[in-house]
Amino acid sequence: MKRDFLKLSDLSLGELNALFERTKELKALRKARKVVTTLQGRTLVLVFEKSSTRTRLSFEAAMAQLGGHAIVLPVADSQLSRGESVADTARVMSGYADAIMLRTFEDARLAEFARHASVPLINGLTDGGHPVQLLADLFTLIEKFGKLEGLKVAFVGDGSSNMGHSWVEAADLFRIDLRIASPEGYRPKGSVKAFSPQDAVKGVDVVATDVWTSMGQEKEKAARLAAFKGYIVDASLMSLAAPHAVVLHCLPAHRGEEITDDVLEGPKSVVWAEAENRMHVQKALLEKLILEGQSS
């Protein structure tokens, strides 16, 4: 039976921890220049309704390094752009591929695709969440701290964004002490306590941020810049975190807006390892979804 990965909680806590163990193995094998061919002969279709750098490259590289093949399909180049239904497209793709990744806007569109696809569907980003990015973020923290439970994490920025929502989900799953600093109108759904940036960051192990204006929100940029004034992750804010604290940013970064250049390039930044870990953790995810689905 196929398994989809639309949100972090589509996998159990035990499965997620096993996924991180496999990620560690795969990363070590890559560093040792060992060839892994677990997905030889398998095909992944990557469907993009939003532009991408890391998602596209990391999934393509992941499949290639596991012996498989990835086909990239921008929606503008597909019949979806000319009115073909999501249902018809999902059925056809399922006949060609062993898994599909969709990067889109509405979560309802992702859910519809999942209903009609007969192979695993992976959420490559929607308005409501970015679970593959969170897998990389969490694995990066395991590399740094050796654990997730009990870590103190401050997310400074747009808590109503896909990253904000995925951090809330991750905190519930892994018992992370999450503090979200967002202005009024940009806080995640539910009863999340409101923090100022300074209160959120005080004594934490991790400071995470993201762009203030995401894809599709360009017309809101002026209003968002005004709303988020004072929410920049700079050296002054970082001085309030624990001495061992690290900084996460899922990229791309708008340097000088949500984060300063000296912090992004500084000794507390694990951003570049975080970006590379997208590929390693997605290898483990692809193995799990494709191989387990085809052996059941």
What residues act catalytically? 103, 130, 133, 210, 250, 278
CA–CA separation, 229 and 212 (whole Å): 10
Spell 176-212 as b/e; 16+ CB within 10 A means b.
bebbbbbbeebbbeeebeebebeebbbebbbbbbbbb
* Burial class for 135, CB neighbours closer than 10 Å (0-12, 13-18, 19+): buried
Alpha carbon 94 to its chain centroid, in Å, reads 24
DSSP E strands: which ranges in 218-260?
Answer: 246-249
- Please give the structure tokens belonging to residue 148: 């997730």
Amino acid symbol at 197: P
Angstrom CA distances, 285 to 121, 254, 266, stand at: 11, 29, 31
Task: Order the strands of the 246-249 sheet from edge to edge.
Answer: 177-181, 152-156, 206-209, 246-249
Backbone angles phi, psi at 51, to 5 degrees: -65, 160
The string of DSSP letters for 156-174 reads ES-TTSHHHHHHHHHHHHH
Backbone angles phi, psi at 54, to 5 degrees: -65, -40
